[in-house]
Amino acid sequence: MTKQDAGPRALALRSLAALERDGRYANLEIDARLKHDGADLSPADRGLYTRLVYGVTERRITLDYIIDRCASRPAAEMDAGIRDALRLGLYQLLYMERIPDHAAVSETVDLAKKTGRGGAGMVNAVLRAFLRSGKRVEWPDPAVDPIRALEVRHSIPAALIRVYGTALSASGRTGEGELDALLSALNREPMIGLRVNTLRLTAEEAAEAVGGELSRIAPDIVKISSLTEAARHGIEEGLWFVEDEASRIAAKAVGAEPGETVADTCACPGGKTFSMALDMQNRGEVRAFDLHANKLSLVRKGAERLCLTVVTAEARDARDPDPNLIGKADRVLCDAPCSGFGVIAKKPDLRYKDPSSAERLPGIQREVLRGAAAYVRPGGILVYSTCTLSRAENEDTAEAFLGEHPDFALCEDALLPGGMRAFFPHVDGTDGFFAAKMIRRTE
């Protein structure tokens, strides 16, 4: 492989082809590609490659809409390699201001030539025609079809937009512009949260070390724009670990205190487990369970790196609770498996998942929540959380559980008014998230 063939744009084109061909998750493709083909890339080129793969994936609906209007053939009928080259070129022209237009065009045309599929001329013509138009796009008229207009502008499928609309309504957010603001926020490059190991340093010291800022709603989280060398080093040294603010809020809502017995029923990769152990000042017991035994090493190694000796990890289906712990836990976190529609800013390929494929999840979530509830002692706390924005998976699941379990009631929390709340990126600046806090009655 020549140096040019291993450049960031060439590697991005290969990855885009692999994603569409194999249906692989973008983060796994990026990690594998950088390891095998991109080992010699500079940090800047690694960043460019990553941005191109994630960006083209994220904006695919928008890019194909533009191709359909600029090319003589619809995007869906094109050779896949030529279509990917056009997407790559248009993405740079539309969304990457630091790349000169002439470089975006010439580099993309060169890539198209190397495909050997005879479409370089068309790629050149489409990109240059788009430039001559002043990069003008005739968007769909929202007065004619508001959902289609949102779909094209934000590159989020119509079916998922409707899911978000229902989630907003469930939280009483029905004002004009709410849905558009949410979709915009879901496309914004997210900040990275670092949960500070407060056994070793203060949040202020961590913020100074990485040049970050303290979270407004989770003060032991430091927010940074990218994982710098200092941030990576601190992770390796156990000074902090990556955790979004909303995830931290869910763990904080559990209210774990020193000396207590706490269970995390769907623990991997372990961020909330570690947060609760830190809240307990590493005193007591945190039982981390997960269905996938092969992932438990993430919890064990993470706890060791952070010097959290109270954490134990074991494989167990949350629907089948450990009989030795039933009725004995002071606090339980049930971060249930979900559709993940709240984190598409970090996992852009999730937006193309058909929402109908998640219809079975509420049933599983209710079973998982029932299992988690069995651990809670009278007077103890149960928190149910997800990283999605779906009424069926969030409010409906929590309310169905409460209807079936009169011995549990919603429990007021400073950040969970009324006992449960959905967190929205455009309102809270966090991932899309949901948490419900419940107490087991003593009578």
pLDDT, tens digit (0-9, with 9 covering 90-100), for 175-213: 889 999 999 999 998 899 999 999 999 999 999 999 999
Average of per-residue pLDDT values in the chain: 94
Residue carrying structure tokens 């670990």:
241
380-425 pLDDT tens trace: 999 999 999 999 999 999 999 999 999 999 998 988 989 999 999 9
Choice among 38-42, 322-326, 329-333 with the minimum mean pLDDT: 38-42
Contacts of 68 (CB under 8 A, 6+ apart): 74, 75
**420-423 and 433-440 strand pairing:** antiparallel
387 counts as catalytic: yes
pLDDT (0 to 100) of residue 263:
98
Distance CA 360, CA 356 (A): 8
pLDDT (0 to 100) of residue 409:
98
Q: Calculate helix-pair angle for 158-170, 178-186, nearest 10 degrees.
A: 120
pLDDT (0 to 100) of residue 203:
97
Query: Mean pLDDT over residues 239-250, rounded?
Result: 95
107-139 pLDDT tens trace: 999 998 887 666 889 999 999 999 999 999 999
pLDDT (0 to 100) of residue 72:
87
Distance CA 388, CA 342 (A): 4
- Reported in sequence order, the residue ranges of 158-218 that DSSP labels E, i.e. its strands, are 192-196, 213-214
Where does the pLDDT of residue 5 fall: very low under 50, low under 70, confident under 90, or very high at 90 and above? low
Q: DSSP letters of 8-30?
A: HHHHHHHHHHHHHHH---HHHHH
Percent of the chain having pLDDT more than 70? 98
Q: With left for phi above 0 and alpha for psi between -120 and 50, is residue 388 left, alpha or beta?
A: beta
Q: What DSSP designation does 203 have?
A: H
- pTM value is 0.93
Contacts of 388 (CB under 8 A, 6+ apart): 338, 339, 340, 341, 342, 394, 432, 434
Query: Mean pLDDT over residues 327-335, rounded?
Result: 98
Residue pair 240/222 in contact (Cβ under 8 Å)? The answer is yes
Of the candidates 266, 268, 338, 387, the residue annotated as catalytic is 387
Q: DSSP letters of 223-279?
A: EESS--HHHHHHHHTTSEEE--HHHHHHHHHH---TT-EEEETT-TT-HHHHHHHHH
